[in-house]
Amino acid sequence: MILAAAAGQSVAAAAGASGLSPQACSKWRLNGLRDQPRGGRPPTIAPLTRLAVIARATETPPGGRTRWTQRQLAGAVGISVASVNRVLKRGDLKPHKTDYWCGRSPDPEFAAKQAAILGLYLEPPSGALVLSIDEKSQIQALDRTQPELPLRAGRPRRLTATYKRHGTTCLLAALSIATGTVEARCLDRATHQEFLAFLKTLYRKHPHCELHIVLDNLSVHKHATVLAWAERRRRLHLHFTPTYASWLNQIEIWFRILTRAVVKDGVWLSKAELVAQIMAYIQAYNATQAHPFRWTYTGQPLAA
C-alpha cells in the first residue's frame, strides 16, 4: 500500500492492491509511518529542576542528617515527591542506600602477612595444625517482655520489640582450618589472662604437632605476657592479620554462621541458658555440619 502510494496510484487502486479499506489507505498516504500522538501529559520536570534534584541528592543534607529522604529532597527543591522519585530513578540514584567496602590497609607488610596466612589455608605445613582464633564479645542474653508468637500459615514467628537483658557473655573460639571443627569456651570477660589460658589448653591438647594460629591485632592477642609465653614454645607460631584486615581470619565466617543460627532473634531467660545453647550448638555443629571452607577466590582483582 505504501509502495503503491509512492508510485502515484490512486487510493482506490492502492486499497484494491493491498486489501485495506480506502479510509486506511488514505490515513497512510497522509501520515506515512509517523506515530500517532501518545496519550498522557507531556513531561513537566524542567532540565534545571532535574539537575537541582541530582545536585542536592549527592550532597550532605543540612541539620546534622546523614542522608536525604525523597520527601526532604522534594521540599528542598520545591517539587512533588513523585517527581523526585522519577528523577532519582532515571538517574539511578539511591540516597537512602549505603554500601560498605574494605579500605586499603595501611600495613606496610600487608602483602607478606596476607601471603603467609593464605599459604596456611591453601597449603598448610605437613603434620601441622592450623587454627583460626578470635573472640565474639558482648553476646546478650535477651528475654522478651511478652511470650513469643509461633510461626503460623501466612504469618511469621513474632517477638516483641521490647526486651529484658540478663547479662552478656564472650565466646572465645578456635576453628580448625583442616576439619572445620570448633573448640570454644564462654567467658564473663575477655582479658589477656583468659586468652592465654585458652592458648595453653590448645597447646596441651595437641602435644605432637606444630601449631600455627591465625589472629587479628586485638590488644589481648598482642599482650606482652602472651607474646613472651608464645616465644618460649617452639611448636607454636602466631600469625597476625594485616592492619584492618581481620576478614582474613576464617573464624569470622563461622561467627557469621553462629549469629544466624543461634544469636539472632534468640530468647533466653538467663545468661546460663544462653551459654548452654551456644555450647550445645557447637557440639552439634562439630558432629553434623563441620567442614573446611572451600576457597573460591580466583586471584582476579575484585574491580575486574
Question: What does pLDDT average to in each consecutive run of 10 residues of the chain (304 residues)?
Answer: 79 83 78 67 82 92 91 93 93 89 85 91 92 94 87 87 91 95 93 95 93 95 96 95 91 95 91 95 95 80 55
CB atoms within 10 A of CB 14: 24
Question: b vs e for 40-58, b when ≥16 Cβ sit within 10 Å of the residue's Cβ?
Answer: eeeeeeeeebbebbbebbe
At 125-173, the pLDDT tens digits run 999 999 999 999 999 998 888 888 888 888 888 888 888 999 999 999 9
Residue 301's Cβ-side half-sphere holds a number of Cα atoms within 13 Å equal to 2
Considering the domain architecture, whether residues 52 and 141 belong to the same structural domain is answered as no
Predicted pLDDT at 197: 95
Q: Is the pTM of this model over 0.75?
A: no
pLDDT of residue 79: 92
For residue 158, the model assigns a pLDDT of 87
Domain assignment of residue 74, yes or no:
yes
Per the structure, the complete domain to which residue 76 belongs is given by 47-91
Check whether residue 62 and residue 130 sit in a common domain. Answer: no
The pLDDT assigned to 304 comes to 43
Q: Is residue 100 part of a domain?
A: no
The answer to whether residue 296 sits within a structural domain is no
Residues 118 and 226 in one domain: yes
> For residues 38 and 42, what is the distance between their CA atoms, to the nearest angstrom?
9
174 neighbors 132 (Cβ within 8 angstroms): yes
Rg (CA), the chain: 33
Distant-in-sequence, close-in-space partners of 80: CB < 8 Å, separation ≥ 6: 74
Do 170 and 75 lie in a common domain? no
Q: What was the pLDDT predicted at 27?
A: 76
Q: State the total domains in the chain.
A: 3
Q: Tell whether 301 is covered by a domain.
A: no
Express the helix, strand and coil content of the chain in percent, nearest 5 each: 40, 15, 45
**CATH code for position 250:** 3.30.420.10
Phi and psi at residue 2, to the nearest 5°: -65, -40
